[in-house]
Amino acid sequence: EAGVAQSPRYKIIEKRQSVAFWCNPISGHATLYWYQQILGQGPKLLIQFQNNGVVDDSQLPKDRFSAERLKGVDSTLKIQPAKLEDSAVYLCASSSNDNEQFFGPGTRLTVL
């Protein structure tokens, strides 16, 4: 079974630029999550989708971050404009039940 796929793996941008990350969850997983992991910390949930609907986006900085999952499969997370403090690893996870979340390799973002 293929795991969660994410691209790109690395991205370096300057502050105020825009960036987008892509995630392809495990086939058949209805729930998709985006986490932000700042260096030295554990992941923190940004947004959760159930199929193509948003379940929880309470921690998403909506003035600059947006996410979508239009067809209930792939998802994109966008930052516009980026700030220095957005430098982090952005992890995508998916699950088919409430108990287990499976994570992708992450996208490491550096904002200069």
Q: Which residues bind another protein (CB under 8 A)?
A: 4, 6, 31, 33, 40-45, 48, 55-56, 91, 93, 98-106, 108
Cα–Cα distances (Å) from 20 to 2, 93, 102, 109, in that order, read 23, 17, 21, 10
Residue 99: CB minimum distance to another protein, A? 6
Compare residues 21 and 33 and give the one whose CB is closer to another protein: 33
Residue 43: CB minimum distance to another protein, A? 5
Residue 61: CB minimum distance to another protein, A? 16
CA 47, distance to chain mean position in Å, is 8
β strands within 1-112, DSSP E: 5-7, 10-13, 19-24, 31-37, 44-50, 53-56, 65-68, 75-79, 88-95, 102-103, 107-111
Compare residues 94 and 111 and give the one whose CB is closer to another protein: 94
Compare residues 36 and 82 and give the one whose CB is closer to another protein: 36
